[in-house]
């Protein structure tokens, strides 16, 4: 993992002012977790703590750490597969609120709903920088962990700082963009999942007179009737992405089981030069999508691989199937267990490996289970 310079302490980092006990915080025992995830599956938490302030978040983490108890931090539950046995420790649900905009500088609390953050920056303030990330479920605090991205944009392009509680140092720290070590669907927070708890995220947005950032994604450009690299009204870009995502079952709708998913279940494979050459020797790969990636690598499409390996939209006959709208989403049709979902995921992973020699990697975080 690439490390930046030592991150600096935040203004709340003095240990004598950090809370050490939970006072007046909602604590539930044997609490169902499935309703708190977009997949709507998984067993209960031994203990569920819901925190509404940064102080409550820190107190809950410190209490669990002091007791040597397993801790799972939960935001919007949109990138998570929880095992059927549940979680044998404390689940900390971050429900903090805060949206502070100063010109183009934005600070949001980790518990804010991400889709609402994007909505407000675009429709209320005409600002660009995260408009192509519309409709993505989950919390704002989760976005730097996964370096959330879509339609040619990712949060690493606009995040300036992340304020987090450092469990190892027992202090609140501020990490610069470089110190976050962002890469494709990865970050310092993902590399050290048991160290940092994100409290706030800071962005630098763009005031382009109501115009979007340049359109990088071909599908978006086609839908808008413009060329890649052009700009459009930022609200038009936002609305177009919402329509595209909805057409793929990627905008949450309780009545639509195609949205009972964790979004894209597999990341797009990034192949080394040798891996890509081997891949291209496989029959039927002549027209496979290929995009330049860092260090001489090539990124290809997980959705293309899944489809060409024989797993089309709606594949599966059990309570867990591929989405009828998008081959990258594994869905709960209403009564699936975590094991049902993983059986399907393993079948798809193994089928792609056999057909193309490419190993698919799950994007959601696995809790108590493994692919």
Locate 26 and state its tokens. 């909602």
- Quickly tell me which residue has 């805060």 as its tokens: 98
**Count of H-run helices and E-run strands, the chain:** 9, 19
Task: Provide the annotated active-site residues.
Answer: 185, 264, 363
Beta carbons of 309 and 328 less than 8 angstroms apart: no
The Cα 202–Cα 109 span in angstroms is 9
- Quickly tell me which residue has 């496989």 as its tokens: 282
Q: For residue 212, what are the CA distances in angstroms to 126, 209, 215, 243?
A: 9, 9, 8, 17
Bridge-based pairing state of the strands 320-322 and 330-332: antiparallel
Beta carbons of 140 and 120 less than 8 angstroms apart: no
* Phi, psi of 345, deg, nearest 5: -60, -40
H or E element that contains 107: strand 105-109
The Cα 302–Cα 267 span in angstroms is 7
The Cα 297–Cα 271 span in angstroms is 5
What are the helix (H) ranges across the chain?
54-67, 114-119, 143-146, 188-191, 218-224, 234-247, 273-279, 302-308, 338-356
Around Cβ 119, how many Cβ atoms within 10 Å?
A: 16
Beta carbons of 298 and 290 less than 8 angstroms apart: yes
The Cα 205–Cα 184 span in angstroms is 21
């Amino acid at each position: 993992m690439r490390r930046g310079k030592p991150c600096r302490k935040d203004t709340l980092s003095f240990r004598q002012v950090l809370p050490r006990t939970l006072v007046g915080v909602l604590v539930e025992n044997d609490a169902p977790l499935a309703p708190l995830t977009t997949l709507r599956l998984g067993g209960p938490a031994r203990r569920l703590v819901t925190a509404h302030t940064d102080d409550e978040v820190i107190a809950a983490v410190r209490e669990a750490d002091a007791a040597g108890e397993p801790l799972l931090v939960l935001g919007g539950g949109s990138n998570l597969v929880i095992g059927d046995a549940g979680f044998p420790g404390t689940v900390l649900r971050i429900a903090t609120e805060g949206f502070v905009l100063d010109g183009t500088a934005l600070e949001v609390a980790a518990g804010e709903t991400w889709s609402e953050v994007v909505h407000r920056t675009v429709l209320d303030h005409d600002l660009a920088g995260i408009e192509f990330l519309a409709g993505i479920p989950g919390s704002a605090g989760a976005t730097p962990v996964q370096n959330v991205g879509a339609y040619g944009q990712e949060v690493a392009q606009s995040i300036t700082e992340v304020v987090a509680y450092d469990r190892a140092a027992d202090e609140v720290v501020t990490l610069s963009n470089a110190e976050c070590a962002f890469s494709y669907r990865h970050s310092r927070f993902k590399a050290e999942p048991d160290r940092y708890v994100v409290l706030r995220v800071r962005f630098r947005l763009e005031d382009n007179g109501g115009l979007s950032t340049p359109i990088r994604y071909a599908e978006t450009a086609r839908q808008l009737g413009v060329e890649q690299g052009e700009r459009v009204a930022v609200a038009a870009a936002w609305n177009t992405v919402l329509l595209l995502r909805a057409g793929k079952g990627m905008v949450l709708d309780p009545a639509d089981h195609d949205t009972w998913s964790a979004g894209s279940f597999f990341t797009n494979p990034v192949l080394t030069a040798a891996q890509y050459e081997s891949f291209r020797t496989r029959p039927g790969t002549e027209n496979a999508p290929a995009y330049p990636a860092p260090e001489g690598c090539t990124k290809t499409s997980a959705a293309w691989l899944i489809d060409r390996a024989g797993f089309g939209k709606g594949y599966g006959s059990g309570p867990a199937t591929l989405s009828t709208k998008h081959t990258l989403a594994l869905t709960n049709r209403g009564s699936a267990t975590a094991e049902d979902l993983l059986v399907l995921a393993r079948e798809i992973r193994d089928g792609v490996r056999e057909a193309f020699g490419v190993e698919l990697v799950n994007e959601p975080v696995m809790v108590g289970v493994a692919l």
